[in-house]
Amino acid sequence: MHRRDRRGCGRLSGWSGWSGWSGWVGCAALAVAVVAAAPAAAQNIEPTFSLTVYLQQAFPKQTTTNRQIEEINAMFGTDFDTWDDVANLSLGVQFFTRVSRFWQVGVEWDYSRGGIDGSATVPTDAGDATLDFEQKYSIYTDFLAVAHFLPCPECHRVVPFVLGGGGVGYEKDTTTLTLRNDYIDQWLRVENDGFFPVWTVGLGIEVPLSKSGNTYLEVGGAYYWGRLNHEVPAEGPLAPAPEVTADNDTTGPNYWLGLGWRF
């Protein structure tokens, strides 16, 4: 699992990313590996499907984004929140099919949106002015091919698993900063979006909630890699340059709690 901002989740409203063909080739390689992981013995096992819906809390690095917010605070003497100060929550869904005693494979989709903002009165040469700041992302989502390795297929009261997956993420965000009074009207606007590779590995357990085991509680933790890092246009009198670095680094640990069904 991974990302999430999750919540309030975001980064200079969510600037993430690494690029390059190696990430996309790796995603294709993972999909091949997931299929190859199912042994021929799977032909003798009746397929079992499962669906899990979960809420996830993420702890993204957001090093560059948080530093940019701190630079605004230092320049104007404000105390605007960074992404370390808010909950980075996301909603996710996983669908699996059991292909052998030790493996189940499937897909995962995560979604979140959110933002942070603040307002403060700051002194200027033209008198006190209102400084408004907002970082808002309209969407942060990812789609992964995932696999669960089941080290104890005979376990029933608690079913442990090892998670691995890879895929693609997408995010879109807008950052605005305005400084205004009767004599001043200055502003900054930065819009950012893009696709990027994502990866995750983790551990978890399923706890059956019924005698049949077809309804279960799932708890787990994972480490997530995802980053969109590129240059984007900056508009307005407060823009430090025609282009600025949009770096949404969602890499970091996360944990989740979910409810699942087998059918």
pLDDT tens digits for range 104-117? 999 999 999 999 99
In whole angstroms, what is the distance from residue 87 CA to residue 57 CA?
7
Q: What is the DSSP letter of 221?
A: E
Among the ranges given (35-44, 139-148, 175-184), the one the predictor scored with the smallest mean pLDDT? 35-44
Per-residue pLDDT of 71-106, as tens digits, reads 999 999 999 999 999 999 999 999 999 999 999 999
In whole angstroms, what is the distance from residue 231 CA to residue 243 CA?
6
Overall average pLDDT of the 118-140 stretch: 96
Q: What is the pLDDT of residue 39?
A: 46
Locate the domains of the chain by residue range.
21-262
Q: What is the pLDDT of residue 52?
A: 98
Percent of the chain at pLDDT > 90 equals 78
Per-residue pLDDT of 151-165, as tens digits, reads 999 998 999 999 999
CB contact at 8 A, 61 and 74: no
Q: What is the pLDDT of residue 25?
A: 45
Per-residue pLDDT of 229-242, as tens digits, reads 999 999 999 999 99
Question: Could you tell me which CATH number the domain at 21-262 has?
Answer: 2.40.160
Tokens linked to 123: 């002194």
Percent of the chain at pLDDT > 70 equals 82
Tokens linked to 122: 């700051």
Reported as a pLDDT band with limits 50, 70 and 90, residue 215 is: very high
Reported as a pLDDT band with limits 50, 70 and 90, residue 47 is: low
**pLDDT at residue 4 tops 80:** no
Q: What is the pLDDT of residue 165?
A: 98
Q: What is the pLDDT of residue 180?
A: 97
Overall average pLDDT of the 27-42 stretch: 46
Q: What is the pLDDT of residue 26?
A: 52
- E-assigned strand segments in 59-158: 88-98, 103-122, 129-149
Residues 6+ apart with CB under 8 A from 42: 99, 100, 103
In whole angstroms, what is the distance from residue 10 CA to residue 171 CA?
9
Among the ranges given (38-52, 196-210, 222-236), the one the predictor scored with the smallest mean pLDDT? 38-52
Is the sign of the CA dihedral 169, 111, 81, 130 positive or negative? positive
**pLDDT at residue 7 tops 70:** no
In whole angstroms, what is the distance from residue 11 CA to residue 186 CA?
23
Q: What is the pLDDT of residue 213?
A: 87
